[in-house]
Amino acid sequence: MKNKVTRLGVLSSDELRNLAYDCYYQFLPHFKGQPEGSLTGIVSIEFSSRMRQKLGLAYLFEHKIRLNLDYFAADPSLLPYTLFHEMTHLWLYDCMLDPGHTQRFYKKMREFESTGLPVDPDVHIHSRVAAEGKFVYSCPNCKNRWYLRDRLSYSIYCGHCFDKEGVEYFAKQIKTPVRNELNASDADTAA
């Protein structure tokens, strides 16, 4: 008996997965041993049919990339570009740098041009570039990190732990002084 392959437009979900991992390994040298640092550990890539607004999403703390199944099944031409974009988010996070759409982020995305693969013109040159977060905060519970431009005088939990622990717990803990922040110069030494 033949294996039944689910056809979704042009590519099956297996073909999409293979394409994504081929691209991942092709791009990996751009994210290893760089002056800023390296992408570390394993990145899991998954496709979701529940994504509507976005082509891809990087889950920094989970080290996971989620791609829009329906979109890429119908037209995979921008899959490599989207994957490179999400890998850039994870790479910056692993380098202890602001993983947002900063100047540094778009400078990295320029490297994608050397692959000769199609570029998404809508996201490649952003008219609005986010300023680099100067303060890095770490969730006291799970150690997830995020970057803010302003210094906070209290400790904050990440959204995930906030949801899990509930409002009461959050309200109690919010008064504890911040112990995990680095100052701007610390945050920049990886550059």
Where does this chain bind Zn ion (CB under 5 A)? 139, 141-142, 144, 158, 161
Task: State in angstroms the smallest separation of the CB of 63 from Zn ion.
Answer: 15
How many C-beta neighbours within 10 Å does residue 167 have?
Answer: 9
* Residue 70: half-sphere exposure toward Cβ, Cα within 13 Å: 6
CB-wise, 11 or 135, nearer to Zn ion?
Answer: 135
- Pair type for strands 64-68 and 44-48: parallel
Reading the block at residue 134, the tokens are 């100067």
Non-local CB neighbours of 123 within 8 Å, separated by 6+ positions: 85
Task: In angstroms, give the least distance from the CB of 56 to Zn ion.
Answer: 8
In sequence order, the β-bridge partners of residue 45 are 65
Which C-beta is closer to Zn ion: that of 34 or that of 144? 144
Nearer to Zn ion, 11 or 81 (CB): 81
Question: Of 1 and 171, which has the nearer Cβ to Zn ion?
Answer: 171
- Least Å distance, CB 134 to Zn ion, is 20
Q: Where are the beta strands (DSSP E) in the chain?
A: 7-8, 11-12, 44-48, 56-59, 64-68, 135-138, 145-148
* Least distance from Zn ion to the Cβ atom of residue 185, Å: 26
